[in-house]
Chain A
Amino acid sequence: EDQVTQSPEALRLQEGESSSLNCSYTVSGLRGLFWYRQDPGKGPEFLFTLYSAGEEKEKERLKATLTKKESFLHITAPKPEDSATYLCAVRGGYQKVTFGIGTKLQVIP
């Protein structure tokens, strides 16, 4: 069974204080690893898809990286508007998507 574990569960940063969120996974035949951002009461907003180890993608202050066992979401110089829950998910060989519980990020001005 595919599994996704995200850490930490919650993270509090000062504005401008860079950090990383971790997503460890076990999957049979990785077809894609996904990062989403979710604001309270809203649907997840797509950020990145990574397909193979060594791949990296960037968008504004966010950078996602992938190894064979984990992915990191690096947040550089975060702003208060980056506060949200960040979700990691994998799609395995059986096409099902498995989500982690998420990391709740709070950025304090």
Chain B
Amino acid sequence: KAGVTQTPRYLIKTRGQQVTLSCSPISGHRSVSWYQQTPGQGLQFLFEYFSETQRNKGNFPGRFSGRQFSNSRSEMNVSTLELGDSALYLCASRPGGTGGEETQYFGPGTRLLVL
């Protein structure tokens, strides 16, 4: 079974621009979560989507948004980029649903550098 895939793997943007990152979950997984990882803060939860609905949200400003499509693929968008948004953005998937498997599996991440 193919794992979680993320595109692009690397991205360089300048301040003020916006960016869209994509994530394809493991086949059959309906829950997708996004995380931001920086050296100082570790992994910080952004949001989780399940069946095209945002189920949970972390403490990030409204510049960070996401969506999920009917095939469970997900995108996250960051508008008006700031230098502090430079990070590794990770996507994770799990089956989801009531009583579902709690373990989530991560993709390789997208490395975003904001200049």
Which positions in A face B, CB cutoff 8 Å?
31-32, 34, 36, 41-46, 49, 51, 87, 89, 91, 94-102
Stretch at the interface among B14-22, B60-68, B69-77, B102-110: B102-110
Query: Using a Cβ–Cβ cut-off of 8 Å, how many residues does chain B contribute to the interface with A?
Result: 22
Question: Which chain B residue has the least Cβ–Cβ distance from A43?
Answer: B106
User: Given known contacts A97-B33, A99-B42, A101-B42, is B58 in contact with A43 (CB within 8 Å)?
Assistant: no
Question: Which chain A residue has the least Cβ–Cβ distance from B108?
Answer: A43
Q: Can you list 14 A-B contacts with CB-CB less than 8 angstroms, sorted by A residue number?
A: A32-B102, A41-B111, A43-B109, A44-B43, A44-B90, A46-B105, A49-B102, A89-B43, A94-B56, A95-B56, A96-B56, A97-B104, A99-B43, A102-B42
Main secondary structure of the interface of B (DSSP, over half): strand
Which positions in B face A, CB cutoff 8 Å?
4, 33, 35, 42-45, 48, 55-56, 58, 88, 90, 102-109, 111
Q: Are A36 and B102 in contact (CB under 8 A)?
A: no
Given contacts A96-B48, A99-B45, 11 further A-B contacts (CB under 8 A): A31-B102, A32-B102, A42-B109, A43-B107, A44-B90, A46-B104, A46-B106, A49-B103, A96-B45, A97-B104, A101-B42
Per the bound structure, the CA–CA distance linking A34 and B94 in Å amounts to: 13
